[in-house]
Amino acid sequence: MDLTLSEPYQALQAEIRTFVAQYGHLSPKVGGGRKRPDQKTLDWQKRLLAHGYVGRTIPQAYGGAGKQPDIMEAAVIAGEFARANVYAGLTNQGISMLVPTLLEVGTDEQKREYVGPTIRGDIIWCQGYSEPGNGSDLANAQTKAELRDGNWIVNGQKIWTSSAHYADMMFLLCRTEPQASKHEGLSYLLLSMKSPGLDARPLKTMTGRSEFNEVFFTDVAVPETQIVLGRGKGWYVANVTLKHERLMIGDASKMTARLEQLIKLLSTIDIDGVKLIHMPEYRDRLLRLQGEVIAWKAHNLRLLTETARGEESGVKRMIVKYGGTMLGFRLSSLAVDALGSAGLPYESLGEDAETDDATTWNIDYMYDVGLMIGGGSNNIQKNIIGERGLDLPREPKFLAGMR
Ligand SMILES: Cc1cc2nc3c(=O)[nH]c(=O)nc-3n(C[C@H](O)[C@H](O)[C@H](O)COP(=O)(O)OP(=O)(O)OC[C@H]3O[C@@H](n4cnc5c(N)ncnc54)[C@H](O)[C@@H]3O)c2cc1C
């Protein structure tokens, strides 16, 4: 088998290498991304956009480069940025979840207003889905919106809302049709986080930082036109977003960079003069993980190929969130084990703790536990894989009055 790149891809590879050589020193640090992007990151994002290394297949009318989907191009770009350890662009709930949702089901006006500023990093979004008591049972969301004089009037509460304390906008799942069935009573609204009556209160996680929030709505007015796809279509739209969220969370390109960092870490630390990478107990775990990262990358490419061909991927897509988060957690577990006591500076972690490898791995390790829950817990993912992917019997439902 000839695995050398054909001429156009070699040309793209050379172009990116020139770009990295010329501008690489301006790249923000790889990783992070759980804070509002700073000016350096925004400038870098705009540079990547101008060269079509991000937003590549988004139509030019909406701020992208307007290229045809090409999985080899995507793989060459991701590979070159990972190889050079250079920041490959912003990933956040707006870019990875809302933008593909709007491109799929938004109006032309919504695409023009939101896609460009979001991929440039100028609008930061948060996701208003989970509520106290309605996390896994998302379709039971009770936050209400009633139409009055051209505005949706929103009342209720969301919880675990990542980034809400610095986001500009929210995509919100709420109940607009109280008479309709659970799934058909929901709508999907886009609203400003500066709306009067909206109160976002940060919650501290075990990383020591405030990463998510509880958000309260008291008569929050949202213009009638800020609905995606229409009344009662919220469950469908929410699931389009969830599909992209689960792919983002399990994304293989992040794994490659983390594996490289892990190899570096194990090559640096030694016990009695022997580097950890040469010790069987660490080397075995590392090799197993390396094999899994390679397999995960191949799986990702297979899904990209099927998407580009317009084919359904079925159960292969359903395993991405579960498999990706388990693999990510095992990568950071090995790093924390290798760091020994340096991997446990629990007390010292704060809002800005992203200063060296030890604290970064420590934060990743704790955050990875959260990723097994966020975006639909891994228990729920196993139900979905079993019931919808493998046609296993459905889990028993409680009858009314049994709880
Ligand atoms: C880091 C992080 C970021 C998040 N960001 C956001 C965000 O930005 N926006 C947002 O809306 N939400 C967010 N969430 C919330 C997340 O989506 C919910 O926590 C998740 O869906 C689980 O809901 P819950 O917390 O209400 O748990 P519950 O639904 O109460 O579940 C509790 C436990 O029971 C298990 N369980 C429940 N039902 C079943 C079942 N049928 N079968 C088997 N096991 C079951 C679950 O797996 C879990 O272990 C985030 C969560 C985390 C951890």
Residues with CB under 6 Å of ligand 1 are 126-130, 135-136, 160-162, 212, 370, 373-377, 379-380, 383, 395
Residue 354 has pLDDT above 70, yes or no: no
**Ligand 1 centroid to 394 CA: how many Å?**
20
Ligand 1 closest atom vs CA 383: 42
Residue 402 has pLDDT above 60, yes or no: no
CATH 2.40.110.10 fits 125-232, yes or no: yes
Residue 353 has pLDDT above 70, yes or no: no
Tell me the C-alpha distance between 260 and 279, whole Å. Answer: 18
Catalytic residues: 245
Ligand 1 closest atom vs CA 137: 29
- What's the pTM? 0.91
Beta bridge partners of 224: none
Tell me the C-alpha distance between 345 and 237, whole Å. Answer: 41
Ligand 1 closest atom vs CA 133: 26
Q: Using pLDDT thresholds of 50, 70 and 90, give the confidence band for residue 189.
A: very high
**Ligand 1 centroid to 137 CA: how many Å?**
9
| Residue ranges matching CATH 2.40.110.10 in the chain | 125-232
What the block records as the tokens of 171 is 């995509």
H helix or E strand, kind and range, residue 288: helix 280-308
**Ligand 1 centroid to 331 CA: how many Å?**
23
Number of H helices, E strands in the chain: 12, 9
Read off the pLDDT of residues 244-269 as tens digits, 9 standing for 90 and up. Answer: 888 788 777 778 888 988 999 999 99
Tell me the C-alpha distance between 94 and 162, whole Å. Answer: 12
Read off the pLDDT of residues 126-180 as tens digits, 9 standing for 90 and up. Answer: 999 999 989 999 999 999 999 999 999 999 999 999 999 999 999 999 999 999 9
Residue 296 has pLDDT above 60, yes or no: yes
Q: CB under 8 Å to 382, separation ≥6 — which residues?
A: 322
| Residue ranges matching CATH 1.20.140.10 in the chain | 250-389
Domain made up of 250-389: CATH architecture: Up-down Bundle (1.20)
Read off the pLDDT of residues 50-77 as tens digits, 9 standing for 90 and up. Answer: 999 999 999 999 999 999 888 789 889 9
